[in-house]
Amino acid sequence: MKGSRSQKNVILLLTLLVIFTVDVKCQLTANFYATTCPNLFQVVRKQVQIAAMNEMRMAASLLRLHFHDCFVNGCDGSVLLDGSDSEKFAFPNQNSLRGFDVVDTIKTAVESTCTGVVSCADILAIAARDSVVLSGGPSYRVLLGRRDGMVANQTGANTNLPSPFDPLDIIISKFAAQGLNLTDVVALQGAHTIGLARCAVFNSRLFNFSNSGAPDSTMDTNLVSKLQSLCPVNGDGNKTTALDQNSTDLFDNHYFKNLLNNKGILVSDQELYSSDMANSTTKSLVESYSNNPHLFSSNFMDSMINMGNANPLTGSSGQIRTNCRVVNS
């Protein structure tokens, strides 16, 4: 009796040890740079602040960069690589992603205090958090310890990133492919509470939507008129408007209130509330977030951490890039 109990205890201990060891190997931690780069958070925050002071939209652009990084080969800084196979030329990114020069500036500042220890992938994760906070959103502890990938994956960017024209089931499955569930889908799209979108990504809704001869019936008619004047047929597809028309630069839950009022800008925004599929999937979450800003903040933080955990390179995989745009020679 006694012997078998202590045997069981030994087995339990060994099992815990194995689980713990495996965990430590691939898990990110909040204090990863505590000894190797103690000023990291201050250095990054200062540069994000300067960039956002020059142009408030940069906060949104930096947040989006982290998202577009994580969905392709995990959060490995691959989105930052230049070259002919660059993800920058993928359909969702070209003429759209911005902030690469700001990331260079942050990286230079980090390298000058802690040379060769902080990955570009982690810099994106911290800059994204700081951007949310600077915009008035919630603060959370960023998990760190990612290493930088060795390849860009343009095909991966074209395949994995959701398109604003994707039906909801495709969007849900693209998030699921990254280990993200329905809560993550809705909470993370709440990032569209800040930033801008170009006419090119929503003008199909304004005049002859899906060959119906009329604008998208799930868009508020006043918003349709406003956007029709901004984005006339054959107009400049690069003109921009706010994704959250109520409070462009403020990270709040108004994005979800907009959806209840048919004021989503992208098809992919409005369908979270208005599509048939939303009834049994995302609609109730949109309603909850629209009347409970604290629930949105809390779920958004959790979901950012979930997204940031996508397939990290850790340990001795990958490298710490010196220049975020090129793999070390």
Ligand X SMILES: *[C@@H]1O[C@H](CO)[C@@H](O)[C@H](O)[C@H]1NC(C)=O
Query: Residue 200, interface with ligand X (CB under 6 A)?
Result: yes
Q: Is the CB of 98 or the CB of 257 nearer to ligand HEM?
A: 98
In whole angstroms, the minimum distance from the beta carbon of 36 to ligand X comes to 28
Residues designated as active site: 68
Site string for ligand X, 225-264 (x = CB under 6 A): -----------xxx-------x------------------
Interface pick for ligand X out of 27, 31, 139, 181 (rule CB under 6 A): 181
- Which listed option, ligand X, ligand HEM, none, makes contact with residue 191 (CB within 5 to 8 Å by class)? ligand HEM
Residues that bind ligand HEM (CB under 6 A): 57, 60-61, 63-64, 67, 96, 98, 162-164, 171, 188-189, 191-192, 194-198, 201, 266, 268
- Which listed option, ligand HEM, ligand X, none, makes contact with residue 188 (CB within 5 to 8 Å by class)? ligand HEM
| Cα–Cα distance measured from residue 110 to residue 112, given in angstroms and rounded to the nearest whole number | 5
Interface pick for ligand X out of 26, 151, 250, 260 (rule CB under 6 A): 151
| Cα–Cα distance measured from residue 76 to residue 151, given in angstroms and rounded to the nearest whole number | 9
Long-range contacts of 274-283 (CB under 8 A, 24+ apart): 274/218, 275/167, 275/168, 277/167, 277/168, 277/169, 278/168, 281/168, 281/172, 281/182, 282/168, 282/172, 282/182, 282/185, 282/186
Residue 278 near residue 269, CB atoms below 8 Å: no
| Cα–Cα distance measured from residue 180 to residue 159, given in angstroms and rounded to the nearest whole number | 16
Site string for ligand X, 23-52 (x = CB under 6 A): ------------------------------
> Is 271 assigned to a binding site?
no
> Is 72 assigned to a binding site?
yes
Bridge partners (DSSP) listed for residue 29 = 144
Helices (H), 27-165: 40-54, 57-70, 100-113, 120-134, 154-160
Residue 327 exposure: Cα atoms within 13 Å on the Cβ side: 12
| Annotated binding residues for Ca(2+) | 69, 72, 74, 76, 78, 87, 193, 244, 252
